[in-house]
Structure 1
Amino acid sequence: MKRNKQWLAGLVGLSLLTYTCKVSQQVIKRDAEGKIIVNTAPSPAYLSPQESLKTIHVPKGYRLELIAAEPMIHEPVAMVWDGNGRLYVAEMNTYMQDVDGTGEMKPICSIKRLEDTNGDGKMDKSVVFVKNLVLPRMIQTLDDRLLVNETNSNHIHSYRDTNGDGIADEKKLVYKNDAINTSNLEHQKSGLIWNLDNKMYVTVENKRYSYEDGMIKSENLPEGPGGQWGLTNDNYGRLFYSSAGGEVPALTFQQNPMYGRLDLKDQFNEDFQAVWPIISTPDVQGGLGRLRADSTLNHFTASTGQSVFRGNSLPEDVLSDLFICEPVGRLIRRAKVTNTEGKITLKNIFEKEEFLASTDMNFRPVNTATGPDGCLYILDMYRGIIQEGEWTRKGSFLRKKILERKLDQNIGRGRIYRLVYDGIKPDKTAPKMLDMSSNQLVQYLSHANGWWRENAQKLIVIRGDKSVVPELKAMVLNSSTSQLGRIHALWTLNGLKALDNETILSMLKDKDAEIRKTTIWASEERVLNGDDQLIAAMKPLINDPSADVRFQLALTLRFSNSEKAGILTKELLANNTDNEVITTSQKKYQSIMDARALSKRNALLLKEADQKLINKGSLIFNQLCATCHGADGKGVAIGGKNMVAPALANSSNVTGDPEKLIKILLHGLSGPINGKTYPDVMPALGANDDDYIASVISFIRNDIGNKASVVKPADVKKVRQETNGRDKSWTKTELETAKK
């Protein structure tokens, strides 16, 4: 069946040519003491792309160029390039079109494909690649196929244009999971990034994915990795998550989540969590507690869209820095990532100011990425409301501010910028990787821009082309090849299932510590299968001079049932009692194993139906509630800050009257709890069915240090009927008086 083409090229191309596209080098206004003078009375009015550019401040030498804007794109949330440099943009066209989020789940969202046809760095051609979607949240390119996941669904489909008209006409279900996700759209997974280890990772969910024989397969992680909107990786495959709900700008980056979650309280300090807008920020969910005296946001609250810069068209000192978007503060943080004996810490590049900040109230940076040209790309959703309807309900602090400023009226727009630097020209090489042979792709495994390296590896692995194995082996063993080129060649061999023991044994003795570490990681499957020859060859590495190598060895041996692996692990741990990361990781893992053993023993004492409730509640808790309450129920406290939500472990509030818990989950909770005020509210989960609510409550009452009766779906149904019509959150005082 023919489909109507939906081109915007002519009009949009001409309109983009009229843009100045450069930010004038404006200096942030400061007082006599050097402090930033904040715009305390910003206008909420819509600004054209040219006008908005003038409000965005970046350091001297940097500037932004406009790449795309409305009407070419609308409500953009995610972006990814294919091997030929075409940019796919996911649009949540139904997101918060009014203060109540009316019609959000209508299947009218789309994914656009943008192209720069004349090489000037600006998109001049746009087509609706896929339409009729429900809030598309995850996109990833394979070869000429695009993977897509929609809100409320666990399926992953691939889309392909088979006739060259730019519109997808082939749709295939490549990962099937019929379970419907009923969580709030802010609490569902995001990411699906292709990592160095040939796995695709997501936030929230305790799974990772891989491509095999034309399908996507999943494997379980020991626990959910946490995070919320956004996920990124660095040149060596380290993952960085963010949690907007938990108000944690970065987390789960000490080790790969395949080994469990690990966060250290001092991986950054309180100063890192303070943000420095140049604009009054009244529209914050946390209310007055999240504002300074000058009315600016005082703390990360909407951390999202992070990326590690891996390009080659910005100054060298930017390479490997972490950029984190804060759309409520209208800013982007640039953080320096430091590795000290295997422990990763983050620090703001600037003192009490941000790398990028705007005075435009509708500037909403929600995503960043390194592009094929080696520049950093910034996706601006450009809208008034940036909070889901669950937090803009009647009576909320946020709703009042939105309506006062008429922020609900700015919808349906969006911009994409690229960050460039004076004196450094973006790489104008037009990617044609989809048209290259595998042999031609091998050379790009050593490219200076991580985008090219990653895509070359991905394409070779997807093709399964083993004709390049000899060339890859030679590349791995050649010490004169770049370090990152050898690492990518190593993982490409791994992805082709062609990494043999001869190569591994040689690389374990390499002079480069990062090569040794990567070799241990890439050979993990053989270790888990009990390859005693390989395990024996790793014994010298328990005393490796690099803490990173020793840490990776401890992680890789962790799940092996080999007797030799167990002996090595004990010796390694005994020799590293002074290494915080290695010892803390092992203690965390052991505590998880102990908790599971206890849960298993308790399960034997429960009826089968009750245990099913608890098991379902465990999954929901770890994917949703753990973001704020902690995986162990003891709360989230990273960076020396107070917890964002009360602890649930060993809590009389949890093991007490179950009706209070039912009311809280149905309608939410706000205000002080036991005399303590938290920065966020407990959102209502009443949109979920009675079984869902009963499961979560039954889990927290029978795990994480608690022991009490389970809650049945019928109990939830009764309370739901009794409180029918309630449209606001409960307070602790209301709950107490309601029972008297």
Structure 2
Amino acid sequence: MKKEILLAVALVATGVLLATCSQSKKEAEAVAEEPGFDSPRIVNSDPKPGYMTPEESQKAFRLPKGYHMELVADESMLSEPVAISWDANGRMFVTQMETYMQTVDTTGEHQKGSRVLLLEDTDDDGKMDKRSVFIDKLMLPRMILAVGNELLVNETDTYDMYAYKDTNNDGVADEKRQVYHTDKKAYGNLEHQRSGLDWNLDNWIYITVDPVRFQYKGGMIHADSLISGSNGQWGLTHDNYGRLYFSRAGAENAGSGFHINPSYGALDFADAYNDTTFGAVWPIIKTPDIQGGLKRIREDTTLNHFTAANGQSIFRGDRLPKTLVGDYLIGEPVARIIRRAKIINTDGKRTLQNAYDKEEFISSLDMNFRPVNTYTGPDGCLYIVDMNRGIIQEGTWTGEGSYLRKQILRLGLQKNIQHGRIWRLVHDGMTRGPKPHMLDETPAQLVAYLDHPNGWWRDNAQKELVLRGDKSVVEDLKKIAVGKKGPLAETPSAVARIHALWTLSGLDAIDKDVLSEALEDDDAQVRKTAVWVSEPFLKNGDEDVIGKLEALKDDADYDVRIQLFLSLSRSKSSKAKTIAEGILSSNQGNQMIAGAQKALNKTEDIKKFGTKMGSLNPGNRKLVVDGAAIFNSLCATCHGQEGKGVPTKIAPPLAGNSQRYFRNKDAMVRILLNGLTGPVDGKTYSENMVSMGANNDEWIASVLSYLRYDIGLSERRFPGSVSEDFANRILVKPEEVKKLREESKGRTKPWTWEELDKVSGNK
């Protein structure tokens, strides 16, 4: 029982060099110094929806002065690409969703007809010329990560992960082994399932959506629950210092979850960016194929706001202008653009600002340009995965009677399938960097790359060192971590010292002497990293380390103070708690520290909620647990954590409506089965509630059981536990959903509240 409750807690919790990745306000105001465009933005109000050749598409880009797009691979080598992972030798693995939306009705979408390709540039001209099918017969593979000589792969509709290996060097995987398994079935529309597998600086592998992160040790994936849940939808990235950046396309949120690491809790700010200025997008072509209808189109016929923000990256390369390094890049495939944002640091709080005034960094006249992922590549340039297709939205939004479906069929966009491109962004006067050969090099050689100017090299050198577990380099790493040359030709940079600390941590070789020196480093980000790395000592209540940390409680840099406050929360030491309370007291005006405290408190509340669920029988507990996972990874995207709404106000908040949760059970079921349209409480929202009826009866029952049990009970101030009889009355059972599904059979349009009040009554 205790194990089940702990698992329930984790799942209910679902309810996250050359320049730095943040800037001061003064630096942000200097954006005008960045070269602009050769001509003013002009909208093409009559774009051609048909296929463009790669050469035509290449000419269709609008870019700032000095930037150019190069073709790396096209449909002669690939089709429907969605993600890339390079191995440590720079070989490119491309995952393809080849059955995705091949018709407007999703025909054959869940067949095992997708592949992972291996692409290579053998003559070093920058264009792929060698191709092999590394893995075939996959079901919409969605996550890949190269680790050593293997490739980790996750497919749609499952949580399982496998490692694939090519043992005879023919470009085809001939070994497959399972590295992660759970009996739980992945749920939801494929647009709402996980993405990522981002190996962060802290040696944890992060994903979106699901309340978990992973470590890869001993050739296996090991999971760690995120008590307050994860974040995001399609796309995940990190900066030079291990800060993660998520986005929530469903909530039209182009950046979220980047304030604190999700292992501490969930923290977002309504003013993380100005929704009026940052949320607005600026395509250069008419954009009729949008699911929100005419209200999402401005007078010049273009999309007026983010709807599909995804595939973000922090540019960390060394072969594009320094002014781009550390900037946040995110695709908007409906607008056919890629946004570039400056990251503003105000007393430790990050906000996003468009680098241009009513312009986009990259935009295209090609109606089939669909940027779904961006990356810093081994050569120091920016890579863009262009799915290059007519339909980008999944079938849930293209159903009979929808505005989007009419536009797709009118333009013939459903015909544009089985294409795809990978582009490279380059700049005048800058050449591509050399190929890596890390898989063939010794640990001692890899150590030197921790100070490479390209973040891709630093990340992969660290990953390789941790994977190999070779401690012969520990002494060299210690020298770098404390700022001594050691194996490096020059005094190690701050980012090198940060990577050395994390590599030592990954090798379980960090010691208190190194920590002590790093905590006194001149660079604030090194000090912050040292605090973060010290957490195993804090967890064990090491008084020596806690004493060293106390000296940083009034650090001049807010990032250090914020990290200290968060890390001290991991300790049960009374002295650590006292220091944390002092930081909170002396920084009462700081939004980040106040927000961090709320996040930590929420995490504790979630733990207590698990106790409340302990009074439920196993069947009812499973309903609520499963519903929590679904709600907080899918529904919360638009309705907010705990149903409190999101900054973009795309959907009504659910908190505060306990009458509907308790007195209109049937109405809530009908909404999930068929959707909801029209005003809600007298207010009209930019998007309708789409039908979730494609999910089975148990799925719908679970979501509503969680909503009625958690949010509903909390609002009505019920005690910490409830009787089984009362729980049976408020929870939604699959058989109740089945009955209402039969009653609604044949209905194709969403409900209105007026209709629901008539047919459902107060049940």
TM interval, short-chain normalised: over 0.9
Alignment deviations for residues 456-479 of structure 1 (CA, whole Å, 9 cap, x no partner)? 000010000111111111111225
Give the conservation status (yes or no) of the 8 Å contact 1:283–1:328: yes
More deviation in 436-445 or 649-658?
649-658
Aligned match of 1:554: 565
Q: How far 1:226 moved relative to its partner?
A: 1.8
Q: How does 1:711-726 map to 2 (within 5 A)?
A: 711-726=732-747
**1:658 aligned to which of 658, 665, 670:** 665
Give the conservation status (yes or no) of the 8 Å contact 1:202–1:231: yes
Aligned match of 1:346: 352
Give the conservation status (yes or no) of the 8 Å contact 1:655–1:706: no
Q: How does 1:31-180 map to 2 (within 5 A)?
A: 36-180=41-185
Give the conservation status (yes or no) of the 8 Å contact 1:146–1:158: yes
Report the CA distance shift for 1:341/1:465 in structure 2 as closer, same or farther (over 3 A). same
Aligned match of 2:291: 285
Distance in 1, Cα, partners of 2:232 & 2:606: 22
**1:419 aligned to which of 425, 436, 453:** 425
Alignment deviations for residues 109-158 of structure 1 (CA, whole Å, 9 cap, x no partner)? 00011000011111111111000000000000101100000000100101
Distance in 2, Cα, partners of 1:481 & 1:591: 40
Q: How does 1:533-544 map to 2 (within 5 A)?
A: 533-544=544-555
**In structure 2, what residue type is equivalent to 1:304?**
N
Q: How far 1:607 moved relative to its partner?
A: 5.3
Q: How does 1:405-484 map to 2 (within 5 A)?
A: 405-427=411-433, 429-478=434-483, 480-484=491-495
> Does the alignment pair 1:593 with 2:604?
yes
Give the conservation status (yes or no) of the 8 Å contact 2:36–2:64: no
Name the SS for the 1:368 alignment partner.
strand
Distance in 2, Cα, partners of 1:358 & 1:627: 28
Distance in 1, Cα, partners of 2:438 & 2:571: 39
Report the CA distance shift for 1:469/1:604 in structure 2 as closer, same or farther (over 3 A). closer
Give the conservation status (yes or no) of the 8 Å contact 1:196–1:454: yes
Q: How far 1:602 moved relative to its partner?
A: 4.8
**1:674 aligned to which of 671, 681, 697:** 681
Distance in 1, Cα, partners of 2:760 & 2:734: 21
**In structure 1, what residue type is equivalent to 2:59?**
K
Aligned match of 1:732: 753
**In structure 2, what residue type is equivalent to 1:387?**
Q
Give the conservation status (yes or no) of the 8 Å contact 2:228–2:606: no
> Does the alignment pair 1:327 with 2:327?
no
**In structure 2, what residue type is equivalent to 1:504?**
L
Name the SS for the 2:641 alignment partner.
coil
Q: How far 1:676 moved relative to its partner?
A: 1.8
Distance in 2, Cα, partners of 1:541 & 1:560: 16
Aligned match of 2:388: 382
Name the SS for the 2:304 alignment partner.
coil
Give the conservation status (yes or no) of the 8 Å contact 1:393–1:728: no
Q: How far 1:28 moved relative to its partner?
A: 7.1
Q: How far 1:327 moved relative to its partner?
A: 0.2
Distance in 1, Cα, partners of 2:566 & 2:501: 19
Alignment deviations for residues 389-420 of structure 1 (CA, whole Å, 9 cap, x no partner)? 00000001100000000000000000011000
More deviation in 676-685 or 61-70?
676-685
Percent identity of paired positions between Structure 1 and Structure 2: 51
Distance in 2, Cα, partners of 1:464 & 1:43: 55
> Does the alignment pair 1:616 with 2:626?
yes
> Does the alignment pair 1:634 with 2:640?
no
Give the conservation status (yes or no) of the 8 Å contact 2:38–2:65: no
Distance in 2, Cα, partners of 1:656 & 1:398: 34
Distance in 2, Cα, partners of 1:722 & 1:99: 27
Aligned match of 2:522: 511
Alignment deviations for residues 248-287 of structure 1 (CA, whole Å, 9 cap, x no partner)? 0000001111111111111110200100001111111111
Give the conservation status (yes or no) of the 8 Å contact 1:648–1:654: no
Distance in 2, Cα, partners of 1:726 & 1:112: 42
> Does the alignment pair 1:401 with 2:422?
no
Name the SS for the 1:140 alignment partner.
strand
**1:363 aligned to which of 339, 362, 369:** 369
Aligned match of 1:14: none
Report the CA distance shift for 1:153/1:603 in structure 2 as closer, same or farther (over 3 A). closer
Q: How far 1:732 moved relative to its partner?
A: 2.7
Distance in 2, Cα, partners of 1:293 & 1:653: 38
Q: How far 1:194 moved relative to its partner?
A: 0.7
**2:223 aligned to which of 208, 218, 226:** 218
Q: How far 1:693 moved relative to its partner?
A: 1.3
Aligned match of 1:21: none
State TM-score, norm by structure 2. 0.90
**In structure 2, what residue type is equivalent to 1:165?**
D
**In structure 2, what residue type is equivalent to 1:517?**
K
> Does the alignment pair 1:501 with 2:501?
no
> Does the alignment pair 1:583 with 2:594?
yes
> Does the alignment pair 1:294 with 2:311?
no
**In structure 1, what residue type is equivalent to 2:231?**
G
Distance in 2, Cα, partners of 1:462 & 1:614: 38
Distance in 1, Cα, partners of 2:511 & 2:91: 36
**In structure 2, what residue type is equivalent to 1:440?**
Q
Q: How far 1:712 moved relative to its partner?
A: 1.5
**2:201 aligned to which of 189, 192, 196:** 196
Distance in 2, Cα, partners of 1:593 & 1:645: 28
Give the conservation status (yes or no) of the 8 Å contact 1:192–1:201: yes
**In structure 2, what residue type is equivalent to 1:284?**
I
Q: How far 1:483 moved relative to its partner?
A: 0.8
Distance in 2, Cα, partners of 1:179 & 1:466: 37
Q: How far 1:606 moved relative to its partner?
A: 5.1
More deviation in 504-513 or 71-80?
504-513
Distance in 2, Cα, partners of 1:482 & 1:135: 41
> Does the alignment pair 1:526 with 2:537?
yes
Alignment deviations for residues 630-677 of structure 1 (CA, whole Å, 9 cap, x no partner)? 11211111xxx4x11111112033333111111111222233322222
Aligned match of 1:695: 702
Give the conservation status (yes or no) of the 8 Å contact 2:666–2:760: no
Give the conservation status (yes or no) of the 8 Å contact 1:198–1:458: yes
Distance in 2, Cα, partners of 1:276 & 1:153: 37
Report the CA distance shift for 1:61/1:636 in structure 2 as closer, same or farther (over 3 A). same
**In structure 2, what residue type is equivalent to 1:301?**
T
Distance in 2, Cα, partners of 1:284 & 1:95: 18
Distance in 2, Cα, partners of 1:434 & 1:601: 48
Alignment deviations for residues 689-733 of structure 1 (CA, whole Å, 9 cap, x no partner)? 322211211111122234581112221121122222333332333
**In structure 1, what residue type is equivalent to 2:757?**
E
Give the conservation status (yes or no) of the 8 Å contact 2:293–2:403: yes
More deviation in 455-464 or 602-611?
602-611
Aligned match of 2:723: none
Question: Unpaired runs of 5+ in structure 1?
Answer: 1-24, 31-35
**In structure 1, what residue type is equivalent to 2:589?**
D
Name the SS for the 1:352 alignment partner.
coil
Give the conservation status (yes or no) of the 8 Å contact 2:535–2:570: no
Aligned match of 1:8: none
**In structure 2, what residue type is equivalent to 1:567?**
T
Question: Unpaired runs of 5+ in structure 2?
Answer: 1-34, 485-490, 717-728
Report the CA distance shift for 1:132/1:604 in structure 2 as closer, same or farther (over 3 A). closer
The higher-RCO structure (CA 8 Å, 6+ apart) is 2
Give the conservation status (yes or no) of the 8 Å contact 1:90–1:136: yes
